[in-house]
Amino acid sequence: MTNCKPTAAEIKENLEIKLSRFFGCTAAEASKDQMYKATAMTIRDILTEKRGSFKKKVNQAGGKRVYYMCMEFLLGRSLKTNVCNLGLDKEYTEALSAMGYTLDDLYECEPDAGLGNGGLGRLAACFMDSLSSLDYPATGFSLCYEYGLFKQKIVDGIQVELPDVWLPGGDVWLVPRTDRVFKVRFGGRIREEWKPDGRMEVIYEDAEELEAVPYDMMISGADSEGVSRLRLWKARSIQNFNMGLFSQGQYARAMEEATNADAISKVLYPADNHTEGKLLRLTQQYFLCSASVQSIIRDHMAVYGTLDNLADKVAIHLNDTHPTLCIPELMRILVDEYFYPWDRAWDMVKEICSYTNHTVMPEALETWNEDLFRLKLPRIYAIIKEINERFSREAWQVFPGNWPRLSKMAIIGYGQVRMANLAVIGSHSVNGVSKLHSTILKDSVFKDFYRMYPGRFDNVTNGIAHRRWLCYSNPELAGLLDETIGTGYRKNPVELAEFAKFADDPEVLERFRAIKHENKENFSNHLYRKAGIRLDTHAVFDVQIKRLHEYKRQLLNALNIIGMYLDLKDNPDLDIRPQTFIFGAKAAPGYQMAKRIIQLLCMLQKEINASPRIREKLNVVFLENYDVSTAEILVPSADISEQISLAGKEASGTGCMKLMMNGAITLGTLDGANVEMQAAVGEENMFIFGLTAAEVEQLWLRGYRSAEFYSNNNRLGRIMAALNIGFGGESFADITTYLLNGQGVADPYMCLADFESYRLAHEACIKAYSDRAKWTRMALLNTAASGHFAADRSIREYADRFWHIKPIH
C-alpha cells in the first residue's frame, strides 16, 4: 500500500485478504463483526504506513517531539473518525456496498474504547486529533485498561457498576510492541554505593519488578501527513507462576504475583476510599510514568545517541496531577543511570516538563500518605525529598521566616506528598484551562508559587475536535456550512465566523432549524432502539451531560424540574411549552451523594412517566451508560446546554463547546469557559444567571446560610416538602437535610442561593424558544462564534508557547 489514497477496488481486495487470512471466510460468509474487524485492520495498515513515513520525516528534520501524559483518553469509537480523517468514506462505502455491507452497520459493531471517563480524557483525545491534523510530532501515553471505568447499569434508580468489557471489539486497533518492554520497580530497599570513579550506584534490594508491555494505537489526522501514536501500557509479572506452590495445591498463592500485576491495568480510577485503593492508584501512576519516561529515553537515544540535547528535542506535558511522577522518574534516570550532576539534570527536567492544572477542587490536587509513598517508591521518595529540600532553601530566600507559607508550598509536609506542588516546582510552565480558571490559580490555589515564579504561569483555554463534533457528528449542518462559507473551516475553524453573515437570511435560518429538528428525530430514533423510549421531537431538548459531581449542580436542575412537576400536578392543563430534560452522567463508585442525585433523577423520571398527561409537557430522561458514541448523536440535537456549575468551580468544560458549536444555546453561570463563550457570541445570545466567582467568595466570607434562601422563597418550601415525601416511592429527605442542615456546611455548592436566578433564566430561555426566528438566529450565531473553541487553536498555543515544537511537512 502506498501513501496514495486506495481505490474502492483496492480496498475491496484488501478486505477479502483480511477475511481470508484472519477469519478463514469470504465476504458472503463473514459476520458483521468479522467485517468490522477486517475493515479496521485495513485502516490500521494505512495508518501504520503513514506513521512510518511521518516518523522518518521527523527523524530527518531532527524535529522536537511532544509526549502527552494523561491517565485517560476518552476516544470513543475509532473507525468512523479514521475513515473520515483519511478522506476514504466514499471509497469504503463503495467497496463495502459491493460486498453487501454498509459503513453505518460496521460503526455500530465497535465498542467505545474503555480508556477514559470524562472531560479530562475527552480533552486528551481531542488534542491527539489536533496534533495529528496539524502535523506535530506527538505521542500520547496512558494505561491499557481492561475494563475501563465501568459500565453503568441503573437498577431501581441506583447506579450499579459492571465491568466495561471493550477489548474483544476494541483490540483490533492495538498493535502489541513486545520489542519495547520495560521494567518498573516497586517497594524493597535502596542502597547507595560510591564507585572509585566518583559515581554513585543505586542498588535495589528485594524490590518487586514488573514488566510494562506497550500496545500502540494510531491516531489519524484530517487532511494531514501526521499520525500520532497513543502508547498504552499493560502490566505483566516477570515471575508469574510459582510451580512449587501449585504442586502443593496452593493454586491461588501460585498465581498471586500475576494477579497483583494484572490489577494495575484492570480499571481506570479504582475506588480510593480505602488504603488498598489509594495504593493501587499510586502504583498505576508510577507504572505509567516510569514506563513512559523509559520509552522516551530509549527512543531519543536511538535517534541521537546522547541525552545532552534531550531538552531541545523532547517536551513532556503533564495533563493534570496524575502523571506528576514523570518529574522524579526523569531525574532518577538522568542521575542514577546516565550520571548527570543533580543541578544539570534538574535544569533539563524543568525545561522538558510542563503542567496543565484542570481543577481547583482540593480533592483533585492529589496527595499521598508519606509513609505509604516511601514504602512503595523508596528511590522516588528519596529524590522528591531532595527536590523538596532544595526548593525550600530557594523559597526561604523569597519568603524569609514565613514558615506557614513555606510549609504550604513544600512538596512534603504534614505527612503528605503533594503532587500539585511537585508539578509546579518541576515544570517550566503551568497553565489553567480558561481565563477565569487561570486567574483563580494565580490568585488563590497557587498564589504563593505565582509570587515566586510569575513568568511560569499562563492560560490556554480548552478546545474540542471540531471535525469530529461538527463535521462528522452533524453532517447536515456541515453540508450547510460548506455551501454557505466554503470548506476552509474544516482546517481553519476560525472561518466559522463567516457564518454570522447569514444570521438574517430567511432561507439559511429555515434550513438550520430543519437540520436541528432532523437531528432531534435521529436522537429520538436512537433512544427508542436502545432503551425503548420515544421522545416528542417538538419539545425543547434541555441537555445536561457531564460527570456527576455536586459542583456541576445537576441537583439545581432537578430542583427546578420538581417545581415544574408540582405546578403540573396542581394543574395538568397549564399552558407551558413541552420540555424534555436529558441527563447523561456517571458517578464515581465511592461517591454516595452523586449516586443519590442519580437516583433522584431516575425516580423523577419514573414518577413523571406514570402520569401521561404531565409527560406530554414535562419529561425527564436519564441516559444509562452515557458514552462518547451517544454524545455524537445527542449533541447535534440539543436546544439548551445546561452549564450551571457554581461559579469558580468549573475549570473550563468542553461539553459546553461541543453543544455551542452544534447550535445549542447556553444556560449557565459565569464559570469556566462560559465567560469566554459569552464574550465571543455576545450576552444577548446566552442566558447567564447566578452569583459570580467573586460574589460566591464574598458570600462565604459573610457566612452562607442556605436556610435564609429557603425561608424567603415559597417555591423552595414546596420543593423541599416534595423531596421529603419522595418520588417513585423513594423519599429524598436526606437531600433536604444536605441542603438545609448538612454536616459541616449546608448546601456547599449554593444551589439554594442561585435557585431563583436560575428559575427565572430558564423561564426566559423557554420564552425565547417560542420565537422560532429569534431562537434560530441565536443558535446560528452560537455556531458562528464557536471557532475559537476548537482544539486546533489550543494546540497551536501549547506548541508555540510551551513545547516549542514545529509542524513537520
Q: Is 195 left (phi over 0), alpha (psi -120 to 50) or beta?
A: beta
Q: Is the model's pLDDT at 600 over the cut of 50? A: yes
Handedness of CA 697, 698, 704, 707 (dihedral sign): negative
In degrees to the nearest 10, what's the CA dihedral of 356, 126, 546, 567? 130
Q: How high is the pLDDT of residue 247?
A: 74
**pLDDT for residue 254 is more than 70:** no
Per the model's pLDDT, the better-predicted residue between 251 and 196 turns out to be: 196
Residue 70's φ and ψ, nearest 5 degrees, are -150, 140
**How far is 691 from 230, CA to CA, in rounded Å?**
41
List the grid coordinates of 32: 458483521
* Distance, C-alpha 715 to centroid of its chain: 37
Nearest-angstrom CA–CA distance, 582 and 577: 16
For residue 107, the model assigns a pLDDT of 96
For 68, the enclosing helix (H) or strand (E) is strand 65-69
Q: What mean pLDDT do residues 778-790 have?
A: 98
Q: How confident is the model at residue 361 (pLDDT cuts 50, 70, 90)?
A: confident
| H or E segment and range at residue 642 | strand 640-643
3-state secondary structure of 582: strand
With beta carbons less than 8 A apart as the criterion, state whether 145 and 111 touch: no
pLDDT of residue 318: 98
CA distances from 488 to 81, 221, 247, 493, 497 (A): 19, 16, 68, 8, 11
Check whether 799 has a pLDDT greater than 60. yes
Comparing 574 with 742, the larger pLDDT belongs to 574
Cα–Cα distance measured from residue 390 to residue 347, given in angstroms and rounded to the nearest whole number: 13
C-beta separation of 110 from 625 below 8 A: no
DSSP-assigned beta bridge partners for residue 318: 69, 355
CA dihedral defined by 754, 759, 763, 768, rounded to 10 degrees? 20
pTM: 0.96
Distance CA(322)–CA(736), nearest Å, equals 35
Give the model's pLDDT for residue 256: 66
Mean of pLDDT over the chain? 95
Query: Residue 158's pLDDT is what?
Result: 98
Does the structure show a pLDDT above 80 at 2?
no
Of 325, 256, 317, residue with least CA distance to 285: 325
SS3 at position 593: helix
Strands 416-418 and 430-432: unpaired
SS3 770: coil
Q: Which of 149, 227, 276 is nearest to 628 (CA)?
A: 149
Instruction: Identify the pLDDT of residue 1.
Output: 37
Confidence band, pLDDT 50/70/90 cuts, at residue 244: confident
Average pLDDT over residues 462-486: 98
Per-residue model confidence as pLDDT tens digits over 476-514? 999 999 999 999 999 999 999 999 999 999 999 999 999
Mean pLDDT of the 406-434 span:
97
Which stretch of 140-144, 239-243, 548-552 has the lowest confidence by average pLDDT?
Answer: 239-243
Task: With cut-offs at 50, 70 and 90, classify the pLDDT of residue 650.
Answer: very high
Number of H-type helices and E-type strands within the chain: 36, 23
pLDDT of residue 242: 67
User: Strand, coil or helix: what is 385?
Assistant: helix
Residue 135 · residue 225 · CB < 8 Å? yes
The pLDDT score that the predictor gives to residue 257 is 60
Task: Give the C-alpha distances (Å, rounded to integers) separating 695 from 404, 581, 700, 734, 751.
Answer: 28, 29, 9, 28, 14
Catalytic residues: 358, 546-547, 552, 654, 658
Average pLDDT rounded to a whole number, residues 445-450: 97
| Predicted local distance difference test score (pLDDT) of residue 248 | 75
> Under a CB-based contact definition with an 8 Å cutoff, are residues 698 and 752 in contact?
no
The three three-digit cell numbers of residue 625, written as one number: 451508560
Burial class (CB in 10 A: 0-12, 13-18, 19+), 251: exposed
More confident residue, 493 or 254: 493
Which residue do the cell numbers 415525601 mark?
725
CA distance 123 to 119: 6
* Predicted local distance difference test score (pLDDT) of residue 198: 81
Residue 577, all three cell numbers: 411549552
Say which range, 88-102, 257-271, 432-446, 701-715, has the weakest mean pLDDT. Answer: 257-271
- Of 74, 77, 18, nearest to 46 (Cα)? 18
Residue 648 main-chain phi, psi, to 5 deg: 95, -5
Note the pLDDT tens digit of each residue in 70-119: 999 999 999 999 999 999 999 999 999 999 999 999 999 999 999 998 89
Write down the pLDDT at residue 251: 58
